[in-house]
Amino acid sequence: MEIDEVPIVRITEQRRSDFKDTVTVELPITIILDNRELVTLLCSPAKLDYLALGFLVSEGLIKSKDDIDSITIDSERGFARITSRNNMVIAPDLSSPQLIASSSGRTLQPYASANGDSPGEIKSGLQISPAEIYTIMDDFVQRSRIFRKTGGVHSAALSDRQNILLFSEDIGRHNAIDKVIGECLAIGLTTDDRIMITSGRVSSEIILKIARRNIPVLISKSAPTTLGVKIAADRGITLIGFVRGSRMNIYSHPSRVLTGKISQSD
């Protein structure tokens, strides 16, 4: 259950009344890798296996599903137990300083490593039109079922330009993206030449997840940060923000957005 009803008192201009409100469920899940507690994520309870997979790949601990022998989810007790193939995954040194994300957050990596194991600049010939971007964003918003009921979650999705292929919601915007990335890994869907969509703001950690999966285009309903823009520019990612109605801002690598019919000025 991703939503729950709680008793509230609702106040309006006219009255004070008892009411039931639909609230998004928050669940702590501890990821245990090869019998070692790695991290506790606060998240929404759906697709926890994808979340665990996506988290490990976003942290650079695994590269493919083949690095994993098994994932066991115990959502009742709040555990995701992962066994790596031949215990081959080297977990990060937890005595090193932690990076606390700016928002909806997660990462174990100290910030320095943002420029460490750099995957280089993403080369992709993908091109997309504004009309396609608006259509994808409309579809994305329509699918945000839990957000419409609770106002308490973020969404993420993967698109091949024509369609939304995968969609996730989570109380954390990082988690929503990790669930999409994990599902790609689980079902063997490539992220190359694909588009990630997020409801949330684009800070450095978000763009680093996208870079690691070689995704050339990120579109968001919201604002980026300066560091998010810088990393997108450095990594060859087309970062598009404030996609609302028939408007958008392109913060980096605008050549992937084709505008044949509208006039170009400046």
Please, which of residues 119-138 interact with a copy of itself by CB under 8 A?
130
Decide: is 190 part of the binding site for a copy of itself (CB under 8 A): no
For a copy of itself, the closer CB: 97 or 125: 97
Sequence-distant (6+) residues with CB within 8 A of 170 are 43, 44, 46, 51, 153, 154, 156, 176, 179
Decide: is 264 part of the binding site for a copy of itself (CB under 8 A): yes
- Please name which of 217, 181, 172 lies closest in space to residue 199, comparing C-alpha atoms: 172
Decide: is 10 part of the binding site for a copy of itself (CB under 8 A): yes
Sequence-distant (6+) residues with CB within 8 A of 151 are none
- Please name which of 142, 121, 137, 135 lies closest in space to residue 221, comparing C-alpha atoms: 137
Q: Tell me how far CA of residue 119 lies from CA of 60, 217, 225, in angstroms.
A: 11, 15, 21
Q: Tell me how far CA of residue 39 lies from CA of 32, 168, 169, 179, 228, in angstroms.
A: 8, 21, 20, 16, 24
For a copy of itself, the closer CB: 19 or 64: 19
For a copy of itself, how many residues bind (rule: CB under 8 A)? Answer: 84
Decide: is 171 part of the binding site for a copy of itself (CB under 8 A): yes
Which of the stretches 66-74, 82-90, 119-127, 166-174 binds a copy of itself when contact is defined by CB under 8 A? 166-174
Which of the stretches 80-88, 115-123, 188-196, 202-210 binds a copy of itself when contact is defined by CB under 8 A? 202-210
- Contacting a copy of itself within 58-117 (CB under 8 A): 94-108, 110-111
For a copy of itself, the closer CB: 157 or 202: 202
For a copy of itself, the closer CB: 42 or 186: 42
Q: Cβ of residue 96: shortest distance to a copy of itself, in angstroms?
A: 8
CB 240 within 8 A of CB 254: no
